[in-house]
């Protein structure tokens, strides 16, 4: 059975005209002899409106009831898609997460899928039916509705592709694919035709909002090729696949950047074995994610300066946690909430010497000072002043010829 999973994001089903448009896309796959499973997000703005309602009625809204509430948006969009397809003569049926069922763990608002039962939908597909499944939701072993985290309809689509052994998983969104960088910042940004799971993971974790990081990781672990396309145009999108499938192995695939980082420096920390653990353990227990870390040892070896980054929203909590910590001594804390991280990403840099030099040289030419550096096999990240982000990204985009397809 040739199954395709088609996922439509909130903007793709944003109004009734858009729902008619995506229905035509669905029908085009039926005409190509695919058995179609559709995964729909809520219509754009609906989930946010439900969240606002929960906060207005009480600041202590029950977690289980919250998931019931915010999962209702997908029910509306699925019913509208399926209802319209039925009016056109197609055997369509909508399924909520609990009807499939998509079985999850017990964590409300951020559940993980344990298993998807395929019997009901398989029977429907075999008789030529279209299954329209609510993304973002499931049901736990206590028979309660759960949600999978914001933006997790991609996760639903990828796991449905896994369990139904789909030939294709296509993510329809409001962009034409994965771009070399944000086109709103750099007009010369171009669409990437093919990108590896590893590169896409780095780009999504470093600021690219095309796909949720966890969804990319699940695609990678299950070796599911994902096509990212626009529901607004008929142009080909981006294929996310394994490295061996990519013909054009560019040195650098793309550039990501953040706008919500803050830098913390602990000056004059008394150095001893285990000091880093003493600093970072309380931050971890307070759910503060620490990113770039640099440690400088003094000439006498008795003191160290430790610099690291956190998200802006975690800055106050981080400083408060550090000041409460009695497990280490330091002279002062310095903070800077006007920094950003710029990263170049590409599997090609593993076998290409001189990439680091080219990056630093191009930034130096623009008189951009680097505050912190971190690297991996396929990524180099630098922390710079936020005011220099556009200038830095433009320089790097030009240096690595990313405007050429």
User: The domain that contains 266 carries what CATH number?
Assistant: 3.30.2130.10
Task: Please tell me the predicted confidence (pLDDT) of residue 19.
Answer: 97
Task: Please tell me the predicted confidence (pLDDT) of residue 207.
Answer: 64
> Which CATH number belongs to the domain containing residue 56 in this structure?
3.40.1160.10
Task: Please tell me the predicted confidence (pLDDT) of residue 78.
Answer: 98
Task: Please tell me the predicted confidence (pLDDT) of residue 372.
Answer: 93
pTM: 0.85
In a domain, 154, yes or no: yes
Q: Is 392 helix (H, G, I), strand (E, B) or coil?
A: helix
Domain boundary among 140, 159, 174: 174
Q: Same structural domain for residues 65 and 160? A: yes
Total structural domains in the chain? 2
Q: Same structural domain for residues 140 and 274? A: no
Long-range contacts at 364-370 (CB < 8 A, ≥ 24 apart): 365/395, 366/391, 366/392, 366/395, 368/392, 368/395
Contacts of 195 (CB under 8 A, 6+ apart): 178, 203, 238, 239, 240, 241, 246, 253, 254
Contacts of 325 (CB under 8 A, 6+ apart): 278, 279, 282
Q: Same structural domain for residues 165 and 265? A: no
Domain boundary among 174, 191, 210: 174
Task: Please tell me the predicted confidence (pLDDT) of residue 212.
Answer: 78
Q: Is 378 helix (H, G, I), strand (E, B) or coil?
A: coil
Task: Please tell me the predicted confidence (pLDDT) of residue 298.
Answer: 66
Task: Please tell me the predicted confidence (pLDDT) of residue 162.
Answer: 96
In a domain, 363, yes or no: yes
Contacts of 50 (CB under 8 A, 6+ apart): 69, 70, 72, 73
In a domain, 56, yes or no: yes
Q: Same structural domain for residues 294 and 167? A: no
Q: Same structural domain for residues 152 and 270? A: no
In a domain, 247, yes or no: no
Residue 101 sits in which domain range?
Answer: 3-174
pLDDT along the chain (405 residues), means of 10: 96 96 97 97 96 96 97 97 98 98 96 96 97 97 94 93 96 91 91 92 78 86 93 91 79 92 93 88 93 80 88 95 89 95 92 93 97 92 96 96 81
**Helical axes 72-87 vs 16-31, angle rounded to 10°:** 60
Domain boundary among 147, 174, 201: 174
In a domain, 70, yes or no: yes
Q: How many residues does the chain have?
A: 405
Q: Same structural domain for residues 165 and 21? A: yes
Task: Please tell me the predicted confidence (pLDDT) of residue 301.
Answer: 67
Q: Same structural domain for residues 267 and 168? A: no
In a domain, 145, yes or no: yes
In a domain, 98, yes or no: yes
Structure token pair of residue 351: 């076998």
Task: Please tell me the predicted confidence (pLDDT) of residue 34.
Answer: 97
Nearest of 183, 182, 313, 206 to residue 260 by alpha carbon: 313
Q: Is 161 helix (H, G, I), strand (E, B) or coil?
A: helix
Q: Same structural domain for residues 141 and 290? A: no
In sequence order, what are the beta bridge partners of 227?
Answer: 170, 239
**Distance separating the N- and C-terminal Cα atoms of the chain:** 35
């Amino acid at each position: 059975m040739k199954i395709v999973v088609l996922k439509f994001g909130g903007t793709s089903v944003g109004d009734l005209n858009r729902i008619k448009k995506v229905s035509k896309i669905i029908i085009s796959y039926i005409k190509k002899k695919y058995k179609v499973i559709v995964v729909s997000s809520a219509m754009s703005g609906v989930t946010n409106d439900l969240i606002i309602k929960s906060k207005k009625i009480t600041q202590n809204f029950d977690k289980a009831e919250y998931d019931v509430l915010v999962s209702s948006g997908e029910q509306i969009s699925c019913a509208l898609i399926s209802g319209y397809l039925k009016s056109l003569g197609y055997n369509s049926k909508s399924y909520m997460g609990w009807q499939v069922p998509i079985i999850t763990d017990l964590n409300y608002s951020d559940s993980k899928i344990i298993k998807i039962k395929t019997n009901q939908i398989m029977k429907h597909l075999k008789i030529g039916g279209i299954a329209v499944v609510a993304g973002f939701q499931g049901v736990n072993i206590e028979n309660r509705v759960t949600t999978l985290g914001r933006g997790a309809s991609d996760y639903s689509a990828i796991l449905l592709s896994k369990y139904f052994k789909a030939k294709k998983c296509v993510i329809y969104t409001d962009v034409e694919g994965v771009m070399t960088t944000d086109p709103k910042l750099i007009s010369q940004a171009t669409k990437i035709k093919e990108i590896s799971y590893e590169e896409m993971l780095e780009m999504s974790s470093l600021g690219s909002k095309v796909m949720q990081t966890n969804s990319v990781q699940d695609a990678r672990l299950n070796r599911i090729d994902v096509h990212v396309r626009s529901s607004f145009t008929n142009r080909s999108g981006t294929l996310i696949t394994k490295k061996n499938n990519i013909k054009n192995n560019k040195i650098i695939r793309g550039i990501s950047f953040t706008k919500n980082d803050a830098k913390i420096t602990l000056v004059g920390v008394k150095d001893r074995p285990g000091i880093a653990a003493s600093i970072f353990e309380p931050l971890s227990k307070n759910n503060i994610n620490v990113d770039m870390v640099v440690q400088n040892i003094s000439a006498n070896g008795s003191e160290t300066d430790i610099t690291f980054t956190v998200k802006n929203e975690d800055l106050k909590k981080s400083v408060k946690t550090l000041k409460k910590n009695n497990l280490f001594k330091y002279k002062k804390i310095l903070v800077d909430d006007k920094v950003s991280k710029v990263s170049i990403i590409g599997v090609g840099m593993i076998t290409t010497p001189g990439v680091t030099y080219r990056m630093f040289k191009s930034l130096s030419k623009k008189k951009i000072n680097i505050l912190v550096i971190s690297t991996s096999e396929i990524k180099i990240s630098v922390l710079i002043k936020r005011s220099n982000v556009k200038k830095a990204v433009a320089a790097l985009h030009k240096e690595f010829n990313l405007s050429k397809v």
